Amino acid sequence: MSDPATITATGAPVPAVARLLDVLELLAGAPSGVTVRELASELGVHKSVSSRILATLLQRGYVVRDEGSERHELSLKFFALASRNTNRMGFPAFCQPTLQALADEIEELVQLSVVEREGLVLTSFAQTPDRRRLAVWPAIGTVLAPHASASGKVWLASMADEHAVEIAVQHGLEPLTRSTITSLDGLLRDLAAVRRDGYAIAESEWVEDVSSIAFGIGPGRFGGVVGAITLSAPSTRMSRARLVEIAPRVRQAAVDLETIWPTHAIRLAGATPIG
């Protein structure tokens, strides 16, 4: 038998596992849940197949069913699993105090995202109780669009243009707002500015009328970006001039996080611990 440690993503996928993951992703994207019939239609399978899959997930506690509508939704068991894993990796326990301190000082939303192989995932955020007017922000676990988010651009800018283009194309240069950069030339110009300035700014690119500034975490200690800290606010109270003004404070938070970043957690980025 092969050593499990040697198994890579190049092996042939297991159809049953792939189908189960399709089901989970469909359920995660269905706010009102799905019926057996709807799931069968989405998967292109017989109704009996989707029924057995949902019954198994229901028995194991990963799905809940509304008896009235017979709609199925993911249970909080997945949230518990995700929380246990982030705690195991050191998030948010190690990082939350730094995020909260910055949020309290600037009185705006602060977010932490972590590099996981070829993606950037939002893992934590902090916000002061009296500043909840910023009503839209990515949910925990969101894979951020690298071409449209400040954190994504600061990550892309940390690598060679060829690799940055490869990742951006892989994720898709989708127009999330009227201001989203959707051309490679435009993106590369932005990345050059990020390298020059040391931070990334996104104005109404990820969410309309929301401005953000982000700094990478890890270049000094690990030789590459393993995460990013982002401060966001409605554009009406966060102009570009204001973003530049608070840049040193956000940068200091990034330095602080880099200092306490769990060394073993950089495996998520596909890197080798060196610090």
Residue 124 CA to residue 100 CA, distance in Å, equals: 10
Q: Is residue 50 domain-shared with residue 107, that is, in the same domain?
A: no
Residue 227 CB partners (closer than 8 Å, separation 6+): 112, 113, 114, 115, 216, 217, 218, 257, 261
Q: Does residue 265 sit in the same domain as residue 210?
A: yes
Domain CATH number, residue 248: 3.30.450.40
Q: CA torsion sign, 258 to 259 to 261 to 267?
A: positive
pLDDT of 87 above 80 = no
Quick one: 252 and 153 in the same domain? yes
Do 89 and 117 belong to one domain? yes
Rounded to whole angstroms, the Cα distance separating 57 from 203 reads 42
- The CATH number assigned to the domain holding 11 equals 1.10.10.10
Q: pLDDT tens for residues 58-78? A: 898 888 888 888 899 888 777
E strand or H helix that includes residue 233: strand 227-234
Range of the domain at 125: 81-269
Note the pLDDT of residue 241: 97
Q: Reply yes or no on whether the pLDDT at 5 is more than 50.
A: no
Residue 83 has pLDDT above 70, yes or no: no
Higher pLDDT, 53 or 130: 53
Fill in the amino acid letter for 133.
R
Whole-number average pLDDT of the chain? 86
The string of pLDDT tens digits covering residues 164-192 is 999 999 999 999 999 999 999 999 999 99
- Which DSSP string do the residues of 182-204 spell out, in sequence order? -SHHHHHHHHHHHHHHSSEEEES
What was the pLDDT predicted at 8? 47
Q: What is the pLDDT of residue 36?
A: 93
- Residue 273's pLDDT is 47
User: Do 116 and 246 share a domain, yes or no?
Assistant: yes
**Domains of the chain: total:** 2
Q: Is the domain of 62 the same as that of 124?
A: no
Instruction: Tell me if 64 is assigned to some domain.
Output: yes
pLDDT score, position 141? 75
Q: Using the structure block, give the residue that is written with the tokens 């990020």.
A: 194
Specify whether 68 is located in the same domain as 127: no
Burial degree of 32 (CB within 10 A; 0-12, 13-18, 19+): exposed
